[in-house]
Structure 1
Amino acid sequence: MDEFIKLLDPGLDYVSHEITGDTIVITVISNKEEVVCPYCGHPSSKKHSVYERSFQDLPVMGMKSKIILRNRKMFCTNPGCSHTTFAETFSFIKPKAKKSRRLLEKIVDVSLNVSSLNASDILKNGIADVGKSTICNLLKKRYTPAG
């Protein structure tokens, strides 16, 4: 399982998993020694706290997947930074997002050639729990010209 988690991000370590119905719930934790402050770019190894963050990812072995990330909040040790703390970020998911970037890409791919209602039905059958309004919003964001 650790090898699968490393495909998502080499900076993560597998902690545990459990199967609940049609979903595998995987708990992971960061293994990074230092985390870079997103506000000033200064590295920090001083941990403030840990909180759990959960999100959906691509299916594993035909089962929906939910990942619980034990996310760290860090102290910024740069005296010139306007922020004293910051949350660790990862390239595979946006801050506060409930779906990984690669799952969002899969949702859009499935949704391009069918109605949002049909796409929702297809996706709910073994890929991810997603409603038609989420699909419509993703398609609007993807195809709205920048202005």
Structure 2
Amino acid sequence: MDEFIKLLDKDLKYLNHKIVDDMIYIYVVSTRNEVTCPFCGHKSLKTHSTYERSFQDFPMQGKKVQIIIKNRKMFCNNPECDHTTFAERFDWLGNKSKKTKRLEDEIMHMSLNCSSTAAANFLSKNTVTVGKSTICNLLKKRKTDNK
């Protein structure tokens, strides 16, 4: 399972997993030594606290996948930065996002070929938990990002 997690990010470490009904819950932790402040670019080694953050990724063996990461909140010790703390971020997961970027891309691909309601129904049964409003919001976000 650690090899699967490393495909998502080489700096993640697999902790454990559990299977409940049609869901696989995978618990991971970041192994980065230092984390870059997204506001000023300063590197930090000092952890403020940790919290659990969960998000969806591609299904495995016909089961939906929920990844739970032990995310770190870090101190920014740059005196010129307006933020004293910040949350660890990842390139493959948008800020405050509940789905990996690669899963969002797959949802977008599917929804371009049918209505958002039909796409939500199909995806929820076969791939991920997603609603019509989520698809509409992703389409709006994608349209804004491409301008």
Helix, strand or coil for the counterpart of 1:81?
A: coil
Task: State the Cα distance separating 1:35 from its structure 2 match.
Answer: 0.5
Change (3 A) 1:141 1:76: closer
Q: Is 1:133 paired with 2:133?
A: yes
The Cα of 1:133 is off from its aligned counterpart by: 1.7
- For the Cα contact (< 8 Å) 1:92–1:101, is it kept in 2? yes
What is the distance in 2 between the residues matched to 1:75 and 1:107?
35
The total of aligned residue pairs comes to 146
Read off the aligned partner of 2:34 and give its amino acid letter. Answer: E
Q: Which runs of 5+ in 2 are unaligned?
A: none
Q: Secondary structure at the match of 1:96?
A: coil
Name the CA distance, whole Å, in 1 between partners of 2:85 and 2:45: 12
Does 2:62 align with 1:68?
Answer: no
Correspondence for 2:59: 59
Per the normalisation by structure 1, the TM-score is 0.93
Matched to 2:139, the amino acid is L
Give the counterpart letter for 1:55 in structure 2.
F
Aligned-partner SS, 2:77: coil
**TM superposition shift of 1:92:** 0.9
Amino acid at match of 2:72: R
Segments of 4+ moved more than 3 angstroms: none
Normalised TM-score (structure 2)? 0.93
Q: Which is further off, 42-51 or 128-137?
A: 128-137
- Counterpart of 1:97, as a letter, is S
